[in-house]
Amino acid sequence: MFDSFRFLHWGWLFAIPLVWIGIWYFRKRSPRPVVLFSAVRGLQRPPRSVWTWVHRCVPFTEGIALSCLLIGMARPQWGESESRVSGEGIAIELILDISGSMEAIDFELDERQVNRLAAVKHVVKAFVQGDKELGLRGRPNDPIGVVAFGGFAESRCPLTLDHRAMVSVVDSLQIPRPIRDARGRILNEQSLEEELATAIGDGLALGIDRLKNARSKSRIAVLLTDGDSNAGAVDPRDAMKLAKQLGIKVYTIGIGQNGVVPVPREDEFGTRMLVPARFTMDETLLKEIAQETGGSYFHASDTQGLAEVYSQIDQLEKSEVEEMHFARYTEAYSWVVLPGIILLCLSYGLRRTRLQWLA
């Protein structure tokens, strides 16, 4: 499909006004025929034949013909353009904390108080898809995967370029909640306590496992948590050593505030209320993981700060992508040159035949 147009030698177009100025000038300077009559009463309204009108139109026909020839000399061309993107994206594994502490309500989104997980989901989606207001350009050329962890780690999305599906997975992340029977008793009390814990080592180890076979030259993990590692089968430092051996860079993000924050809780009747709770975050561990693997540690205490953290990571890890443009042009001069030649021949023939006596 043709989607562009150009004149290869567009300088010839400047001669078109000169053609029309010349026609006007010579038409104005040419002498008009004069015939002597003894009386002009009968010539006040002389009859005008079709040839008289044709004679007047000949100069304009010549102007159009010459203009067409000049347009043809300018080489009009229709083009079909195409662009292709090639390059090497960065394999990114997002390791997100969905433990019980992520339910703390100390973040703000659209001028309303939200829990930490809601703010994280909002910023992560902007990091992947781009958001001008948050200063995030998006990562369209990078395969991205998602690992979520609480007391257990689970791969929620493999490395993929289908970011729409990946964002849907992020949207579906939920903090484990109690399941109650008709009497209000918690049916999953034992497993819930385990699910609400924080297994940083398991989450990091699973994320590294998903990255180790990635074909991308550069592989990074972005570990986000708000707590202290208090569960799991893998020690976080063992996972850190594995990442270092495989050449996987780990960026760590600590969010929220250390201390007392409001957290929603349910009573035996299912009524939710805010209660104060104290949480601590092991920043020393997060800094060590980042330093040992060649990454960086960041801390964010609000939504804007979290967006700035992802923006910094976005700037530090740039994909090497090259965009190539191709264009194929088809000559279109015949569409104007041929009519120009026909008009020029027609006007020449008319001037050399019946219209010659009218000149």
What's residue 83's pLDDT? 58
Q: How many whole angstroms separate alpha carbon 210 and alpha carbon 144? A: 10
pLDDT per residue, tens digit, the chain (359 aa), is 556 777 778 788 888 888 888 777 776 666 555 555 555 555 555 555 665 666 667 777 877 888 888 888 888 887 766 555 555 678 999 999 999 889 989 898 888 899 999 999 999 999 999 998 888 888 988 999 999 999 999 999 999 999 999 999 999 999 988 777 777 777 777 778 888 899 999 999 999 999 998 888 889 999 999 888 989 999 999 999 999 999 999 999 999 877 788 888 776 666 777 788 887 888 999 999 999 999 999 999 899 999 999 999 988 887 655 555 566 778 887 888 888 788 878 877 776 665 554 45
User: Phi, psi (5° rounding) for residue 312?
Assistant: -65, -40
- Could you give the CA distance from residue 94 to residue 155 in angstroms, rounded to a whole number? 10
Alpha carbons 98 and 195: distance in angstroms, whole number: 9
pLDDT confidence of residue 116: 92
86, 112, 174, 300 from 96: Cα distances, Å? 30, 23, 11, 14
pLDDT of residue 251: 96
Which residue type, as a one-letter code, is found at position 280? T
**HEC secondary structure over 56-92:** HHHHHHHHHHHHHHHHHHCCEEEEEEEEEEEEECEEE
Other CB atoms within a 10 A radius of the CB of residue 204 amount to 34
pLDDT score at 87: 56
Pairing of strands 144-149, 153-160: antiparallel
pTM of the model: 0.65
What single letter denotes the amino acid at residue 52? T
Query: DSSP assignment, residue 331?
Result: E
- For the chain, domains (ranges, CATH) are 4-81+328-358 (no CATH), 90-318 (3.40.50.410)
- What does the pLDDT read at residue 187? 72
